[in-house]
A and B are shown apart, each in its own frame.
Chain A
Amino acid sequence: MDWISLLLVPAIKSLVVVVALLTGFAYLSYVERKLVARFQVRYGPNRAGPFGILQPISDALKMVFKEEIVPLNVDHVVYLLSPALTVMPALVIWAVIPVSGASFTLFGQTITPYVSDVNVGLLYILAIASLATYGIVLAGWSSNNKYSLLGALRTSSQMLSYELPMGITLVSVLLIAGSLSLVDIVQAQRGVWFALLQPIGFIIYFICGLAEAGRSPFDLPETENELVSGFATEYGGIKFALFFMGEYIHMITISALATTFFLGGWYGPFVNQIPVLGLVYFLIKVAFMIFLIVWIRASLPRIRYDKLMHFCWKFLLPLSLLNLVVTAVVLVLVG
């Protein structure tokens, strides 16, 4: 192993992933605005460039050149660091997600379609996903604002709570796949998608995913009608954009993980003959999940906070445990 394959290749791959995610984020915000607008008989952004496709760029430029405002009563270091702390975990989760099945060779280097395939991939994902909570709690606390504090507390409790059923549901997936590596999990779905073997698991995962990403109807983190903008109330400019980015990348990640765990990852017709189709299938499935999430946002009211917690602790948690037990029993019976 030389330094090229050890450092340079991962570094370039990481950069590609980061750039892809940022572009994805930017255009996801555009697509969402367009979609929601069409759901609501509006046009959505249509001024910047043809069909408004330059809107994300103009938004990004605006955010970059905004005035830096740091309110007087905040805890400076924590206040400034927490946006970065939110966006970083959202990015590094992608280190273990395989976007395609086929490796290819470039300049004598074998390039794998993931940054790293560690044998505890799933645990890594759960661990990193929990880190995002820190950014939010610290942002809420350091802002010294009541809306921020309440918003941060709500968000963190919500994210923590929904991690439980999500984690238990993923154990059911593990039972069938028998490996923590994401590549292995996808390969275990060569024949049949786990969404068909684990329909309840898939639904629980999707609900928890919505809650984890703070998407409607679980968009309590923003709660703009009660808590103005929740934990991000005192943030503006690029710092706000980082939180926003964290949320949207989280949404992409949730969709990508749903694809990986339940929708057969890169698998699809003719993927063995034409390997590049793997990436296409992966992206289509992710896009489908994102569309679902946006559709839900345009249609449903928001759940009240106490109901949201009850739903998680009193319904989803037992249900996911039951799902796990049933899966295990069936596996033993089938052999």
Chain B
Amino acid sequence: MPIDYLPILVFFVIAGLFGIVALVVPAQLGPRRPSSNKLKTYESGKVPYGDARGKIPVHYYKVSMLFILFDLEVVFFYPWAVLFRKLKLFGLIEMGVFIAILLVGYVYVWKKGALEWE
């Protein structure tokens, strides 16, 4: 029922308020004595070489792509799992085929070396 979500919305508002209060109030309470050394980027006390927002390793991108692929497929499990007791053997076979297809993709990804952290 949609009305069930109203309390969650209320919770969101309260949690959000907490976050904002926690950020704003202490900022007013504490002292402020900025100096140029204090506001420098920290890199072990040295002047950094270049900007931090440069190129980042591609593995991280790969991981998020794989995550999206697999996670989307995992989402299909949920309605199936809820109805599993009604679907019985039919559900099992159906999902067996689905998992088999998923596994093909998984094996492909593994063989391609996408799971290697290199």
Q: Are B22 and A65 in contact (CB under 8 A)?
A: no
Q: A180-B82, A305-B117, A310-B117 are in contact. Are A95 and B8 (CB under 8 A)?
A: yes
Q: Are B30 and A65 in contact (CB under 8 A)?
A: yes
Please give, as numbers and ranges, the residues of chain B lying within 8 Å of A81 by CB-CB distance: 23
Q: Are A87 and B8 in contact (CB under 8 A)?
A: no
**A274 located at the interface, meaning its Cβ lies under 8 Å from any Cβ of chain B in the complex:** no
**A6 located at the interface, meaning its Cβ lies under 8 Å from any Cβ of chain B in the complex:** yes
**B39 located at the interface, meaning its Cβ lies under 8 Å from any Cβ of chain A in the complex:** yes
Alpha-carbon gap, A11 to B25, bound state (A):
22
Please give, as numbers and ranges, the residues of chain A lying within 8 Å of B95 by CB-CB distance: 328
Alpha-carbon gap, A160 to B69, bound state (A):
12
Size of the B side of the interface (Cβ < 8 Å), in residues, is 69
- Residues B1-55 near A (CB distance < 8 A): 3-8, 10-12, 14-16, 18-20, 22-23, 25-27, 29-34, 36, 38-44, 48, 51-53
Q: Are A115 and B23 in contact (CB under 8 A)?
A: no
Please give, as numbers and ranges, the residues of chain A lying within 8 Å of B57 by CB-CB distance: 153
Q: A88-B16, A116-B7, A174-B78 are in contact. Are A314 and B110 (CB under 8 A)?
A: yes
The binding surface of chain A is classed by DSSP as helix
**B81 located at the interface, meaning its Cβ lies under 8 Å from any Cβ of chain A in the complex:** yes
- Residues A41-70 near B (CB distance < 8 A): 63-70
Alpha-carbon gap, A73 to B23, bound state (A):
20
Alpha-carbon gap, A96 to B110, bound state (A):
37
Q: A18-B18, A175-B81, A178-B84 are in contact. Are A1 and B42 (CB under 8 A)?
A: no
Please give, as numbers and ranges, the residues of chain B lying within 8 Å of A234 by CB-CB distance: 41-42
**A299 located at the interface, meaning its Cβ lies under 8 Å from any Cβ of chain B in the complex:** no
Per-residue interface assignment for chain A, residues 278 to 319, with 1 indicating a CB less than 8 Å from any chain B CB and 0 otherwise: 000000000000000000000000000110011001100110
Alpha-carbon gap, A100 to B92, bound state (A):
34
Who on chain A is nearest to B109 by CB? A313
Please give, as numbers and ranges, the residues of chain B lying within 8 Å of A149 by CB-CB distance: 52-53, 56
Q: Are B74 and A167 in contact (CB under 8 A)?
A: yes
Number of A-B contacts (CB under 8 A): 214
Q: A7-B10, A122-B78, A171-B77 are in contact. Are A69 and B34 (CB under 8 A)?
A: yes
Q: Are A164 and B71 in contact (CB under 8 A)?
A: yes
Q: Are B11 and A171 in contact (CB under 8 A)?
A: no
**Which of A81, A88, A143 has the largest count of B CB atoms less than 10 A from its CB?**
A88
Q: Are A68 and B27 in contact (CB under 8 A)?
A: yes
Please give, as numbers and ranges, the residues of chain B lying within 8 Å of A313 by CB-CB distance: 66, 115
Residue of B8, B52, B85 near A116 (CB, 8 A) is B8
Residue of B7, B29, B64, B89 near A115 (CB, 8 A) is B7
Residue of A10, A84, A167, A317 near B11 (CB, 8 A) is A10
How far, in Å, is A12 (CB) from chain B's closest CB? 10
Please give, as numbers and ranges, the residues of chain B lying within 8 Å of A242 by CB-CB distance: 19, 22-23
**A144 located at the interface, meaning its Cβ lies under 8 Å from any Cβ of chain B in the complex:** yes
**B63 located at the interface, meaning its Cβ lies under 8 Å from any Cβ of chain A in the complex:** yes
**A325 located at the interface, meaning its Cβ lies under 8 Å from any Cβ of chain B in the complex:** yes
Q: A88-B19, A146-B52, A242-B22 are in contact. Are A11 and B14 (CB under 8 A)?
A: yes
How far, in Å, is A236 (CB) from chain B's closest CB? 10
**B103 located at the interface, meaning its Cβ lies under 8 Å from any Cβ of chain A in the complex:** yes
Q: Are B92 and A329 in contact (CB under 8 A)?
A: yes
Alpha-carbon gap, A222 to B67, bound state (A):
22
Q: List 12 A-B contacts (CB under 8 A).
A: A10-B10, A70-B39, A72-B36, A83-B19, A87-B18, A116-B4, A156-B60, A156-B64, A163-B67, A242-B22, A310-B115, A332-B89
Binding site for A on B (CB under 8 A): 3-8, 10-12, 14-16, 18-20, 22-23, 25-27, 29-34, 36, 38-44, 48, 51-53, 56-57, 59-60, 63-64, 66-67, 70-71, 74, 77-78, 81-82, 84-85, 88-89, 91-92, 95-96, 99, 102-103, 106, 110, 115-117
Binding site for B on A (CB under 8 A): 1, 6-7, 9-11, 13-15, 17-18, 63-73, 80-81, 83-85, 87-88, 91-92, 94-96, 115-119, 122-124, 141, 143-149, 153, 156-157, 160-161, 163-164, 167-168, 171, 174-175, 178-180, 228, 233-234, 237-239, 242, 305-306, 309-310, 313-314, 317-318, 321, 324-325, 328-329, 331-332
